[in-house]
Amino acid sequence: MPKLVALDLPGGELFVSSLQKIWDEGHAAFPVDQRLPLEERHKLVKRMGASKVITTDSEQELTGRPVEDGDALVVATSGTGGSPKGVVLTHDAVVASAKMTSESLLVDPVSDRWLCCIPVSHIGGLSVVTRALLTGTEVEVHSEFSASACEEVGRSGSTLVSLVVTAMRRVDVSLFRKVLVGGSSIPMGLPTNVVATYGMTETASGVVYDGIPLEGVEIKIADGQVFIKSPSLLRCYRNGLLPFTHDGWFPTGDGGELDKDGKLKVFGRMEQVIVSGGEMIWPATVERALTGLSWVSEVAVVGNTDEEWGEVVTAFVVPKDKETTISLEQIREELSEVLPRFALPRALHIVNRLPKTTSGKVAKQSLLSATEFDNPISRN
């Protein structure tokens, strides 16, 4: 029976060669997040049912659970809504993802070279490695993100890179032919060589580029939720759960719409929509407006329970200059030009940082419970 082999390794040449070896031997790989404490990594390996663990200096056999023939990867979700789930991706799904992406970007294995500088334990970084392996394109893999190292590689010949928004802001993206950027709150007005991607672990990476589904991908909206059909979809979760509708659609849990040109607009997680005074407010819409302000570095918007309004729009803002002082009234006035009045923040926290998951996403469930965020600037 094929095994699940945990790769408890940082990104680099050993990770890439070990992944290829696991596939050559007919097994599936589970990349382990190196930013987790050792004990948490051990717990995650056990939860995913790995039968073997490869580290930088050892290989250890475990009592795990087999995978099915054709399974290529088990990838942990980001865990923004709680404990991470194990997503089972087949070789067919991973190949389909690599093919769709490469064809859309017009990747030439001879002249192009990928840079992977985001964690290989999550699908954004891992898919860079897998598509490079499957298309025979050269890839350089870094163990951690460094803006200077990223730019140096861009100057020395790498043409393609995948980044999150925070990393993109720190890098001269003109050094690359194409830059994929994913995650929430992607800003408007991106450079022409930057592609805004939409996808998730369950889709084996991005399946919508600049609002347009890739070849072979179908999108529909039902009751305000985005549903996907794609040859790159997961087989199941590691616990055996099949997350599909009876006719094969995958419910993403994201709210969205298709505009008049058929482009997908994603508003955010359905469970994170804010209902204030009877109005539905999507945090991502408010976040995009806030990131358009010149003094804002990072932002997260959540709903906070309120007796009068039900919920109030609550903004957590990291300013570019830590000495910045601004009132809630000022920020509401600035945003009133781009947001309806009901969507304007009613509480504002100026903070030094935002709590993040290991994949770099904002851990919104931690915001309102964190004591360091007490005493907001508020207006009812």
Structure tokens of 25? 């031997």
* Percent above pLDDT 90 for the chain: 74
Q: What CA dihedral angle connects 283, 284, 286 and 289, to 10 degrees?
A: 170
Query: Are 252 and 302 members of one domain?
Result: no
Query: Are 260 and 348 members of one domain?
Result: no
The CATH number for 198's domain is: 3.40.50.12780
Quick one: angle between helices 13-24 and 123-135, nearest 10? 70
Query: Are 255 and 316 members of one domain?
Result: no
Query: Are 57 and 205 members of one domain?
Result: yes
Total number of domains in the chain: 2
When pLDDT is cut at 50, 70 and 90, the band that residue 268 belongs to is: confident
* Domain with 52 in it: 4-266
Task: State if pTM tops 0.85.
Answer: no
Query: Are 209 and 61 members of one domain?
Result: yes
Domain boundary among 266, 299, 325: 266
Using the Cα atoms of residue 292, residue 297, residue 303 and residue 307 in order, give the sign of their dihedral.
negative
Write the pLDDT tens digit of every residue in 162-178: 998 888 989 999 999 99
- The SS3 call for residue 173 is helix
When pLDDT is cut at 50, 70 and 90, the band that residue 358 belongs to is: low
**Side chain identity at 347, as an amino acid letter?**
A
Domain boundary among 266, 299, 320: 266
pLDDT attached to residue 356 = 80
Q: How far apart are CA 298 and CA 309, in angstroms?
A: 26
When pLDDT is cut at 50, 70 and 90, the band that residue 33 belongs to is: very high
Residues in the chain: 380
Q: How far apart are CA 284 and CA 300, in angstroms?
A: 8
Q: What is the mean pLDDT of residues 348-372?
A: 77
When pLDDT is cut at 50, 70 and 90, the band that residue 278 belongs to is: confident
